[in-house]
Chain A
């Protein structure tokens, strides 16, 4: 027999002076293979057309639909209701600015942070359209891709103790991104350049090591390893610079 699902959904429309933050309750009959993508669209189309939430690809590759599902940040599109109890509480991701209901403004946050950490290849080399490409070992390309798989859904940021307390913390996503550039020989930045960007309290030294980021990452990116490696590398650079100054 199918279950009757009870959704408790956070509601607030900042554009509506009459709106106050509260939770609305919706009932929905569970159907086979029901995902939160299908469920939320049904609720919008059949029960409350003002309900705000974000989806795009609905296949867990675009990162639009991060939300707090029964207390845990995750991607709504690939969450099956059959994996949840009959009562489902949905909240918007913290840290990001609320657009309305379950929809948050991740775009502005990620763009600002990517600008801050200069998330691009730094090189003086001009592109030569006639030249054969520079060679790279396939194993290295695959290692870069492994970290490049981050979809900036914001789940790691929303689950992070430091990010929730401190606005200026760049989050696990950004530290992973830096690790990706550090391993890429096309990026000509030096250790000191990386250190300036992430060898700080806003960067790797702000991480308290709680590692919820790794637990909630829907892409299973090895954040724990990357944070550890980055901390060691930045610590080493810091020590080196102290000795250099003394010498």
Chain B
């Protein structure tokens, strides 16, 4: 039976903020665009972003004197000089425009209220005087690793509200959305990407999408870990289909962020805005400790730094014992009822519903857990994927790479619409010059290959391994060996274990019938791809013998700018192999800000040779 085939100029895999922002740009320029999404777009993980997005508007009193230059410098320092500085520059310059544009489309940003107001920092109260001439302009709150208050927000539902605003725009433009569709493979001829083979998650049928350009905007790969704030759909689908071409590299797979304040035991995120607004971290004695480790930034150092000190403090025996292991406390009680029920409303709801804790009067149990993927499909500064013409990526799924080895809070939500806007424009230019030479024979071959593989999984032709047991084993290894603190011994063990689990993943067979929108089959189709990603993360981490940002090696504690001021490019060229091929490129072609001290997270630095002379 022929497969249902859809033709368009652009097909976007993923309809979160980045995918939708690119789609808006393409559709507004008159190009036929189809958005594919695992879930209805408004349920994408973008909706879970809470605290806000960074943009140097400088409207609020504590943001006075801010500029894209300061934002750029904060971002580069936050990345531990792992970022591409050209991208960080485009980003910082465009962020204020993207924020105002979202406002123009209906985003109800919180605004400056002129006059005196009481604020908190590190639990201490101080007074801020907002200027009358700024009344009603978009305001901002403090986030970690920033010199100014720069994070624009709507309460702590910023991602939700921004996603609805963007999806309203998508609806207004009448852009076609196919939700509950999962990409299975890319259609290409070794040089140019021609489309996508996808599975309908309503019927189970395979479909073909042929297009002049394909965008991957599928978010991160958090579900390689069991303890993550990520939604259940962040399984790395976009990175899998790109890596599987054997042509497109996975950039910096080992750059994985752990967020300081995941709730224990559910790993639900409570926003960095809690600390930005003056919340503190307390230990078993209900005493603050971050100011001891980080005298300057305290609770508001970058996420990698705060997470490490928290784990260090727990290792020192200062954790609060619980049936779910030791944790620490987040204290926002002093912010008061009005602030908590308006500006931190999601936190208030989450604590009450999932923990039975009232954060107005009680402490919140928190512990660092997996949160964000800095690595992803490696693209150039205009969004073009390395290795395959006509393939683009944007947002968390991409390694653009403005985050390097640590992303600042508020910079991911910002990246979605800033990169979406910029890359969308570049994509429009590409589409203007692109002729369709769509080859249905390639599509037929690709879909036949996927179909044959799916039949074998359903029939259990290669074995009867349980897909859930395989996934759980992978997640366990990643938690134990490729976590916040890493070392050669544990990483080698992780790689070895993952190779064994990878072999098992190829022998997965279904227990159920596989008919229709079967969830076991959906997991079985991608499990070996998830293991390839996990192997890239673990092997990339093993090979990088330095510490940089979120990649903290106990056996190589120094940041080594002499040998490792580089970006990992992981290729999976041999479909029958069980390790990626790692190559490296300079982290950045241009230095607006030469490598130096971050100002927090004390770390020895091995300088570049030309620097040390």
Contacts and interface: CB of A to CB of B under 8 A. Distances in A.
A15 B138 contact: no
A54 B233 CA distance: 10
Given A33-B265, A56-B45, A148-B164, A107 B232 contact: no
Interface in B145-188: 154-155, 157, 160-161, 164, 168-169, 171-172, 174, 177, 179-180
A115 interface: yes
Name which of A45, A50, A144, A151 has the most chain B CB atoms within 10 A of its CB. A50
Interface residues on A, range: 35 or more
A119 B166 CA distance: 11
A162 interface: no
A65 B226 CA distance: 20
Contacts of A119: 168, 171
Interface stretch (A22-30, A130-138, A192-200, A237-245): A130-138
Q: A interface, by DSSP: helix, strand, loop or mixed?
A: loop
A145 B108 contact: yes
Given A16-B516, A56-B233, A111-B177, A129 B100 contact: yes
B40 A107 contact: yes
A229 B583 CA distance: 63
Contact of B154 (A59, A118, A145, A152): A145
B396 to A, nearest CB: 15
Most A-side CB within 10 Å, residue of B113, B135, B174, B517: B517
Contacts of B39: 54, 56, 62, 64, 107
B468 A56 contact: no
Contact of A138 (B111, B180, B511): B111
B599 to A, nearest CB: 31
A44 B110 contact: no
Contacts of B135: 135
Contact of B40 (A52, A111, A123, A125): A111
Contact of B519 (A50, A78, A145): A50
Nearest to A129: B97
B125 interface: no
B232 A58 contact: yes
B317 interface: no
B160 A149 contact: yes
Contacts of A115: 171, 174
Interface stretch (A3-11, A97-105, A204-212): A97-105
A133 B520 contact: no
Contacts of B43: 56-57, 62-64, 107
B48 A57 contact: yes
B113 A103 contact: no
A215 interface: no
B204 A50 contact: no
A141 B515 CA distance: 48
A32 interface: yes
B382 interface: no
A61 interface: yes
A187 interface: yes
Contact of B516 (A14, A32, A44, A48): A14
Interface stretch (B246-254, B274-282, B348-356, B485-493): B348-356
Contacts of B265: 33
Contact of A50 (B48, B111, B203, B518): B518
B328 to A, nearest CB: 19
A148 B161 contact: yes
A15 to B, nearest CB: 3
Interface in B254-285: 265-266, 268-269
B204 A114 contact: no
B112 A138 contact: yes
B203 A15 contact: yes
Nearest to B46: A62
A141 B269 contact: no
A120 B516 contact: no
Contacts of B512: 48-50
A186 B100 CA distance: 13
A132 B137 contact: yes
Contacts of A129: 97, 100-101
Nearest to A75: B353
B462 to A, nearest CB: 17
B101 A61 contact: no
Given A63-B43, A120-B168, A51 B517 contact: no
B171 A141 contact: no
B503 to A, nearest CB: 21
B325 to A, nearest CB: 14
A121 interface: yes
Contacts of B179: 107-108
* In the A-B complex, the 9 residue pairs with the closest CB atoms: A15-B516, A135-B136, A107-B40, A50-B512, A49-B520, A144-B108, A138-B111, A120-B168, A107-B179
Interface of A: 13-16, 32-33, 35, 44-45, 48-52, 54-64, 78, 99-100, 103, 105-108, 110-111, 114-115, 118-121, 123, 125, 127, 129, 131-138, 141-142, 144-145, 148-149, 151-152, 184, 186-187
Given A35-B354, A52-B519, A57-B231, 15 more contacts: A15-B517, A49-B511, A56-B44, A60-B349, A60-B354, A62-B42, A99-B202, A99-B517, A100-B517, A107-B179, A111-B177, A133-B99, A133-B100, A142-B110, A148-B108
25 contacts: A33-B266, A45-B468, A50-B518, A56-B45, A58-B232, A62-B43, A62-B45, A63-B42, A99-B180, A99-B201, A99-B202, A107-B41, A108-B179, A120-B172, A133-B138, A134-B103, A135-B135, A135-B137, A136-B109, A144-B108, A148-B157, A148-B160, A149-B160, A151-B160, A184-B106
Interface of B: 39-45, 47-48, 97, 99-101, 103-106, 108-113, 135-139, 154-155, 157, 160-161, 164, 168-169, 171-172, 174, 177, 179-180, 201-204, 231-233, 265-266, 268-269, 323, 342, 345-346, 349-350, 353-354, 467-468, 510-513, 515-520
